[in-house]
Structure 1
């Protein structure tokens, strides 16, 4: 597959040239790489575009990509994503992009009932191409961008236009194109929402429900402290303290710095020891903390009539999805049932 692979675009002049190229292309593949494993407030670091003949990389840390907005506001141009709902909110939030026409290969595969809808599986199935995912959790802020990371990024869009053609044909043949287009419009409308902190989120940590009652106040307090520290230092919460260490500290709270540092070798225990001990002290002062209800669950049990109706609806749903060869939530998810 002979393709052009220009160097990383880092200048306004380069971005202008790319804009002209994309405006001449009827279909453009798009993807992005973010710093979600390294920052509390994640952002786009690198953007990939592929046309029929070339793959382009744009340095989103150095350039304002807003001028590209007019490319995707054109109703005659199709933007092709794979799982675009992960990217579109950030394009809209950071650059004001609107995607007037979208084709999402992930959503198309789901509508068609593919057992594996990930990009790696689809490329292997249709083109016998193997994707190396070793940079899936890479730090995309690194500059200069290493050549192997650049090639990895290009691969995420290189085959999307060909994959679209395959899936588009299958959607038409199956009579499911209108259904898929409805999903594409929904994905194109995805919006960014600011990260909010749920003070009861500690209950979702592994082991939290089984923790003794006396530990739950400490766990709640530690969980809130970690979030604040993560926001202050612009780091993901797990890089401040991993979940399992929060549960360990809450279950067997140390009394002093020496005891704290004996629990585990972790840099945060060294640098933030007094703050952690203070959070544990505040947690003990909370006394008995009630276990929060899981989100989306009600504390009321279904009546017999409601339970019977739910089972009937679920049976109908499961039969329908089996007939269509799709996952159950493609017909209707449990929360709506």
Structure 2
């Protein structure tokens, strides 16, 4: 336990949760973080919610069969500032597993980056601002196990303990340097994030590094193995890499073993694994060999936000990206905080020629219009002139993510 700090309060029953909510009743700034077990399970669970407010730290245990709906109401209250560091994961986790919505967000990672930090991760920021060292070995800890170890508790509480003070520092600095609107704009975007349910599809095998290098017969075998591994992972509630590694799966597809002896000769496929799943793996190899060879790789399934742009629109997109990079470099910030990728894609598709047409683009903020409007429209107008004159370079159509 951090020796200079009082121990956090662990909330694992209704009485403790009621006490926490009462303590938070009049707090206007509340720091929040979460821990999950994606590194240890296929079906991810919310395993811990860390909260700091009024110089006190709480660790809420969602695995203790608590009704967290009242906590969700607090998170959705826009009148209270919720301070998180790198909030996207937490927002998607809370939204996907508990349908919670976050309002009043101030993301300290965003603020640190907007202020020019080259390394805005929490460990770096806390070290620079408070001379605090986080134990990174706990990042991939199994947060579903109970009881939590002392090291886990110490790590978890430090994830939020300094955030209220960090918020005060960064808010003042952003205000002083006229960058608060950038942070607020990004935080409002983050608040709107919603998890997109995804099911693994057979053609997702092409996403595995090395799958494209297989020959057509090996691809057909690998596809069957890929589907089998996902089914085994789902049934055992283990992440896929803990069932069979990508490398072992690729080697099975390359060597196409016919028996246990050949299977266990493959590095990464142990006799114990063969006992547990050997028959199913060998059957998958047989199915793959009986299927048509995959001569042409399927296109990787479309991800949310993927754009199909024609040659001309792709050229404009590239020009806007180059302009965005220069604008970001002049401010010393990440390019995404000038224009996020979704907005960049809409600009390329809709080609605003004036501030008025730019104002109508979904997602454009007033501060972006004021600070970058002329630069954006100048890029578009120059592009349109060259397009009209037939001066655009030829490019192959591609997807953008």
TM-score, normalized by length of structure 2?
Answer: 0.77
Higher mean C-alpha displacement, 198-207 vs 31-40: 198-207
Q: 1:240 to 1:166 in 2, by over 3 A?
A: same
1:75 aligns with 2:78: yes
Deviation at 1:170, TM superposition (A): 1.9
> Which of the numbers 191, 194, 215 marks the counterpart of 1:191?
194
Alignment partner for residue 254 of structure 2, among 244, 251, 254? 251
Residue 326 of structure 1 aligns to a residue whose secondary structure is coil
Matched ranges for 1:144-183 at <5 A: 144-183=147-186
Map Cα deviations across residues 199-229 of structure 1 (whole Å, 9 max, x no partner).
2222222222222222100111110111111
In structure 2, the partner of 1:292 is 298
Conserved? CA contact 1:64–1:95, under 8 Å: no
Instruction: Identify unmatched segments of 5+ residues in structure 2.
Output: 349-401
Please say which of residues 56-65 and 3-12 is displaced more in the overlay: 3-12
Trace 1:77-92 onto structure 2 (pairs within 5 A).
77-92=80-95
Cα deviations by residue, 1:223-256 (Å, 9 ceiling, x for unpaired): 0111111111111111110111111100111011
Alpha-carbon spacing, 1:294–1:330, altered in 2? closer, same or farther (3 Å) = farther
Displacement, 1:60? 1.0
Measure the CA separation in 2 of the matches of 1:16 and 1:271: 46
Asked whether the equivalents of residues 186 and 337 of structure 2 are also in contact (C-alpha less than 8 Å), the reply is no
Q: Compare 308-317 and 155-164 and name the one that shifted more.
A: 308-317
Structure 1: gaps (5+ residues): none
Name the SS for the 1:47 alignment partner.
strand
Conserved 8 A contact 1:33-1:47: yes
CA distance in 2, matches of 1:309, 1:94: 39
Q: CA deviation at 1:61?
A: 0.2
Structure index of larger Rg: 2
User: How many angstroms does 1:129 deviate by?
Assistant: 1.5
Note if contact 1:5-1:56 (Cα within 8 Å) is conserved in structure 2. no
CA contact (8 A) 1:83 1:104 kept: yes
Could you say which residue in structure 1 is the equivalent of 2:236?
A: 233
In structure 2, C-alpha distance between the alignment counterparts of 1:35 and 1:126, rounded to whole Å: 29
Contact 1:35 1:140 (8 Å CA) reproduced: yes
Is the contact made by 1:72 and 1:100 (CA closer than 8 Å) also made in structure 2? yes
CA contact (8 A) 1:219 1:250 kept: yes
**How far 1:333 moved relative to its partner?**
5.7
Give yes or no for contact 1:4–1:53 (8 Å, CA) kept in 2.
no
Contact 1:37 1:139 in 2 (8 A): yes
Scaled by the length of structure 1, the TM-score of the pair is: 0.91
Counterpart of 1:272 in structure 2 is 277
Please, which moves more after superposition, 39-48 or 327-336?
327-336
Matched, 1:326 2:333: yes
Task: For 1:301 and 1:103, locate their aligned partners in 2 and report how far apart those are by CA, in whole Å.
Answer: 34
The separation in 1 between residues aligned to 2:323 and 2:78, in whole angstroms, is 39
Q: Number of matched residues?
A: 336
CA distance in 2: counterparts of 1:22 and 1:120, whole angstroms: 26
Moved more, 6-15 or 272-281: 6-15
